[in-house]
Amino acid sequence: MEIKKLVRKNILELKPYTTARDEFQGFAEVYLDANENPYPERLNRYPDPLQSKLKEQIALLKGVPASKIFLGNGSDEPIELLIRAFCEPYKESILTTSPTYGMYSVSASSNAVPVIDVPLNENFDLIPGAVNKATKPGTKIIFLANPNNPTANLLNREEILSIIRSFPGLVVVDEAYIDFSGTKSFLEEISEFKNLVVLQTFSKAWGMAGVRLGMCFADEEIIAILNKIKFPYNINVLTQEAVSKALEGAPSVRKWVKEILGQRTDLKSRLEELTCVLKVYPSDANFFLVKVDNGRRAYEWLLKRNIIVRDRSSTPRCENCLRVTVGTAEENKRLINALKDYEKSSVY
């Protein structure tokens, strides 16, 4: 597959902005190249535009060469950049499998890129062959969230592979929740498939949603295109330092994931005991999609008790569903108790 043939012509021809830090790399004694203020002792310098140190650390952690890594201001940045780089507005499309993460279609729409939607089956899994059949000649990117959001389940691995093999465009596998799934990432497959892009994030299992750091893994050609169109200093100094430090230390990720998985099991059985809960969908992530008697009413009830869940009632095929994050033992207990009170109340 030739990546260059998939890229929009204007992007291919674009000459990127070069920063002061692109022109000179390494260490010097006197920096008079970037119009910075020399007096403060901290944060007065622009960050490394390509985050070399951080990428080396991530490369080591993930077993992927740094040249195949792009870092973004959350995963949302690579999602947006991929659409902008590969899809000609009004003409070329992306494909999503609903219900799924909303940012794919929001980013597409804000770039005037049409979205083809292929609904998942009744178990919220891929229907064999359906995605391939729905693509059009101008379809450039297929987005698959695995595990999916808001449904929390993994998609069929063989079907994902079959899509990657047969689709002549990019397949983005968004693995924001992979650490909770107990399954293998698609990271290893990026060396085999030039059209595969894997997204991961520091926002979920790593517990660093506040720093906004998303990882994009793909073939060097795709990474080069993203680097060409990103904002020059897209990852600020504070974020680079914070994540670098977390990676140098002994991150508690494994311990947290284990604890969250324990709470997940517990929360599922507690939820299933409730009469207001009609169904708890299986979860491979750190949240549940829960069908209740009346989504809006249950949401409002919880809200009044200072418990915030996500009301997904208005999402097609998620009618009366709440998306509930697995919290601490204490938080989960408060949720269950509030729902028990709800069942006893006059509104129920």
Ligand X SMILES: *Cc1c(COP(=O)(O)O)cnc(C)c1O
Binding site for ligand X (CB under 6 A): 74-76, 101, 145, 149, 174, 176, 201, 203-204, 209, 214
Q: Considering beta carbons, is residue 310 or 340 the nearer one to ligand X?
A: 310
Are the beta carbons of 150 and 285 closer than 8 angstroms?
no
Q: How far apart are alpha carbons 255 and 262 in whole angstroms?
A: 11
Torsions phi, psi for 271 (to 5 deg): -65, -40
Q: Which residues pair with 145 in a beta bridge?
A: 174
- Other C-beta atoms within 10 Å of 129: how many? 12
Q: Nearest distance from residue 80's CB to ligand X, in Å? A: 10
Question: Please, what is the minimum distance in Å from the beta carbon of residue 145 to ligand X?
Answer: 4
Cα separations in angstroms, 30 against 25, 38, 135:
13, 10, 55
Q: Which is nearer to ligand X, 285 or 292 (CB)?
A: 285
d(CA 215, CA 225): 15
| Shortest distance (Å) from residue 234 CB to ligand X | 13
User: Smaller CB distance to ligand X: residue 281 or 301?
Assistant: 281
What's the distance, CA 52 to chain centroid? 22
Query: 206 or 301: whose CB is closer to ligand X?
Result: 206
Estimate the crossing angle of helix 329-344 against helix 295-304, to 10 degrees.
120
Nearer Cβ to ligand X (172/292): 172
Distances (CA, A) of 313 to 95, 123, 290, 295: 23, 17, 10, 6
Q: What is the dihedral of CA 70, 75, 76, 82, to 10 degrees?
A: 40
Report the residue number, 7 or 145, with the smaller CB distance to ligand X: 145
Report the alpha-carbon distance of residue 96 to residue 117 in Å, rounded.
5
What is the rounded distance in angstroms from the CA atom of residue 5 to the CA atom of residue 86?
Answer: 10
- Of residues 77 and 92, the one with the C-beta less far from ligand X: 77
CB of 202 to ligand X, least distance (A): 7
**Residue 321: CA count within 13 A, CB half-sphere:** 21
For residue 329, the number of C-alpha atoms closer than 13 Å in the C-beta half-sphere is 3
- Least Å distance between CB 142 and ligand X? 14
Which residue number places its CB atom closest to ligand X?
Answer: 74
Q: How far is the CB of 78 from ligand X (least distance, A)?
A: 9
Give the Cα-Cα-Cα angle 265, 271, 277 (nearest 5 degrees): 145
- Whichever of 176 and 223 has its CB closer to ligand X, that residue is 176
Do residues 302 and 338 lie in contact, with contact meaning Cβ atoms separated by under 8 Å? yes
Q: Which is nearer to ligand X, 113 or 145 (CB)?
A: 145
Least distance (Å) between residue 72 CB and ligand X: 8
Query: Shortest approach of ligand X to residue 79 CB, angstroms?
Result: 8
- Shortest CB 31 distance to ligand X, Å: 32
